[in-house]
Amino acid sequence: MGETPKSDPATSADAASPPKRRTSRVLRGFYALFRLGVLALVAVVISGAVFALVRPVEAERLWIAFQRHVRMEFAAFGMALPGTPDLADLHGRLAAHGLALGNPIFMRIFKREFELELWMMRDGRFHRFATYPICKWSGELGPKLREGDRQAPEGFYTVDQTALNPNSAWHRSFNLGYPNTFDQSHGRTGSFLMVHGGCGSIGCYAMTDPVIDEIWRIVTAALRGGQPRFQVQVFPFRMTERNLARHEASPLAPFWANLKAGSDLFEAGHIPPRVSVCDRKYAFEAGQEGYDGSGLVSAGCPGARSVFPSP
């Protein structure tokens, strides 16, 4: 008679190991990986925070590059950018604000925040109707200086009916009017700097096609309604003291302080300032109630109410 083979005690013990014990080991493994992942994430966040404190301008540049990449991915898949208003309910949103197509309009663009604000007039002052995410703008923070530098302009511009292009290569577009009187006084060159659809840019502000369609409806209604032109203020970032302090060592700091003077006048009463160019600087006068911002940016020094940044 053959002998019954003897089983390996270790193998037998593993085979007899309860399923519950094996599951427990797997869970402990996953938990260990989870803890390592959390620690790595915390390390990244702390490192990022330290870097942002020590090298804030470089951190800002990395943040802008990251935002461009993420937004282009959304656009590539045909997805609405985060923060896009309900474009299917334009009339409902207008009614909720007590506004209507044909009211005078005003715009502000903030590069760092990738935002375009559209304001509409009600009762003699402007009320913010919508904030649209910008899909892409090119270059760095700072104004456009010369043809081909890929910079998107910064400053105070006006847009009239002749600046609109319904058959743009980028779906629809309007020309910001760069170079304006200020830009020309500094010898800046360039042309066809637009706000348009799509998500590509060489010196322009790309909004995606669905967003530019809504902006287009509001813009064309305002111009048809009698507004000769509307003012567009373009800033590198929201014009707070903290943001200016971050860039106090920049050679552009005096220029940005000049822009802040005009921004502050609008913030004070939600009426666009009257803008002129005096001694190669922007000069501002507070707009009066009912002023729609349609005055041209022209050469000339206004009166005692002019606002200039401190030297």
Residue 246's φ and ψ, nearest 5 degrees, are -60, -30
What is the rounded distance in angstroms from the CA atom of residue 105 to the CA atom of residue 99? 11
Q: Where are the domains of the chain?
A: 19-54, 87-299
Residue 83: closest CA among 66, 71, 69? 71
Q: What is the CATH number of domain 87-299?
A: 2.40.440.10
Q: What percent of the chain has pLDDT over 70?
A: 81
Residues 6+ apart with CB under 8 A from 52: 59
Residue 45: is its pLDDT beyond 60? no
Residue located via tokens 């111009």:
223
Residue 1: is its pLDDT beyond 70? no
Dump strand ranges (E) for 79-223. 105-110, 115-122, 125-133, 136-137, 155-160, 164-168, 171-175, 194-196, 205-206
pLDDT at position 20 is 62
pLDDT at position 11 is 47
Q: Is 237 in contact with 111 (CB distance < 8 Å)?
A: yes
The answer to whether 204 is a known catalytic residue is: yes
What is the rounded distance in angstroms from the CA atom of residue 241 to the CA atom of residue 138? 25
- Token duo for residue 178: 């760069």
Kindly indicate the confidence band of residue 40, based on its pLDDT and cuts at 50, 70 and 90: low
pLDDT at position 183 is 97
Q: Is 222 in contact with 232 (CB distance < 8 Å)?
A: no
Identify which of 20-29, 182-191, 300-309 has the greatest average pLDDT: 182-191
Residue 54: is its pLDDT beyond 80? no
Q: Is 241 in contact with 263 (CB distance < 8 Å)?
A: no
Question: What average pLDDT does the segment 20-24 reach?
Answer: 66
Q: How many CA atoms lie within 13 A of 90 on its CB side?
A: 13
The answer to whether 97 is a known catalytic residue is: no
> DSSP label at 88?
G
Residue 65: is its pLDDT beyond 50? yes
Kindly indicate the confidence band of residue 308, based on its pLDDT and cuts at 50, 70 and 90: very low
Q: What is the CB neighbour count within 10 angstroms for residue 24? A: 11
- Token duo for residue 112: 């760092």
pLDDT higher for 143 or 2?
A: 143
pLDDT at position 303 is 65
Catalytic residue, candidates 171, 196, 199, 247: 196
* Coil vs helix vs strand at 36: helix
Chain centroid to CA 24: how far?
49
pLDDT at position 28 is 72
Reply yes or no: is the peptide bond before residue 19 cis, omega within 30 of 0. no
Catalytic residue, candidates 135, 171, 199, 204: 204
What is the rounded distance in angstroms from the CA atom of residue 203 to the CA atom of residue 183? 15
Question: What average pLDDT does the segment 155-174 reach?
Answer: 97
pLDDT tens for each residue of 213-262: 999 999 999 999 999 999 999 999 999 999 999 999 999 999 999 999 99
pLDDT tens for each residue of 90-141: 999 999 999 999 999 999 999 999 999 999 999 999 999 999 999 999 999 9
Q: What is the mean pLDDT of the chain?
A: 88
pLDDT at position 50 is 45
pLDDT higher for 50 or 26?
A: 26
pLDDT at position 43 is 54
Crossing angle of helices 19-54 and 56-76, in 10° steps, is 120
Residue 58: is its pLDDT beyond 80? yes
* Coil vs helix vs strand at 201: coil
Residues 6+ apart with CB under 8 A from 138: 150, 151, 152, 201, 202, 203, 204
pLDDT at position 302 is 82
Alpha carbon distances (Å) from 83 to 96, 114, 115: 18, 11, 9
